[in-house]
Structure 1
Amino acid sequence: MIKMYGIKNCDTIKKARKWLEQHQLDYQFIDYRQDGLSAERLAAFSQQLGWQNLLNTRGTTYRALDAETKANLNEQAALALMLQQPAMIKRPLLQLNERYILGFSNDIYQQLLED
């Protein structure tokens, strides 16, 4: 079963969910805000994908951080920020068995069908 992690009102999440539904792929959606996200799960994501890849530096939540906080980011600090403010996690995060895909791309999702 495919699991999709994200925030339901995110435009990219909406595109990814629509794509999965159009291709009749069953998936479970886990909303960081409604369903929560454990520190253990986030650490597992970080181990698989790298905390720098998980951190959504394009979002307004990240951009609102002061320069000192941004300059002093390390894995521990970044994961703590992402737990406090899930909008700072790049999305969607798709999990298929032990395979993780970050972000949405028609081409990458199409490969998912072929694998």
Structure 2
Amino acid sequence: MLKFYGYKQCGTCRKAEQFLQQANIAYEFIDITLNPPGAEELAAIAARAGVSLNKLFNTSGVQYRELKIKERLPALSGPEILVLLAGNGRLIKRPLVTDGKRATVGFNAEQFAAVWG
């Protein structure tokens, strides 16, 4: 079953959930703000989705701006990025969806259809 790391108040997450529901794809919803994935799982999701760790950041989020992540990012190592993300689910781009073999970061209808459809 898919793990869907999202946030119920997030419009993008609602669109992604609607896509999965319309496609009759079962998933487990995990509130990313209360239970963010750990560093190992984040690294695995990034690798499965084929994205760099930098792409796991929610760059439009308030906390991203408040913590000045954009300025700090060039100096951060991969493990430091993972610890930062694992410790604060509001910094993570959402939704994260994975089945343990494949993963997607964020929501794009065409990408969802190709990976999960």
Shorter-chain TM-score above 0.5: yes
Q: Per the alignment, in what secondary structure is the counterpart of residue 94 of structure 1? A: strand
State whether structure 2 residue 10 is matched by structure 1 residue 10.
Answer: yes
Written as runs of structure 1 = structure 2, the 5 A alignment for 1:46-61 is 46-48=46-48, 49-61=51-63
Which residue is equivalent to 1:62?
A: 64
Say how many residue pairs are matched: 113
After superposition, what is the alpha-carbon deviation per residue over 1:28-47, rounded to whole angstroms, capped at 9, x for unaligned? 11222334433332333344
Displacement, 1:86? 0.8
Q: Is the 8 A contact 2:4 2:29 kept in 1?
A: yes
State whether structure 2 residue 27 is matched by structure 1 residue 24.
Answer: no
| Matching residue's letter, 1:3 | K
| Matching residue's letter, 1:59 | G
Unaligned runs of 5+ in 1: none
Q: Is the 8 A contact 2:36 2:88 kept in 1?
A: no
Q: Per the alignment, in what secondary structure is the counterpart of residue 33 of structure 1? A: coil
- C-alpha change, 1:103 and 1:27, in structure 2 (3 Å) is same
- C-alpha change, 1:26 and 1:82, in structure 2 (3 Å) is same
TM-score (norm 1): 0.79
Greater alpha carbon shift after TM alignment, 79-88 vs 26-35: 26-35
2:108 aligned residue (105, 111, 115): 105
Q: Is the 8 A contact 2:39 2:86 kept in 1?
A: yes
TM-score (norm 2): 0.78
Q: Per the alignment, in what secondary structure is the counterpart of residue 30 of structure 1? A: strand
2-structure distance, mates of 1:36, 1:62: 16
2-structure distance, mates of 1:106, 1:43: 23
| Matching residue's letter, 2:10 | C
Unaligned runs of 5+ in 2: none
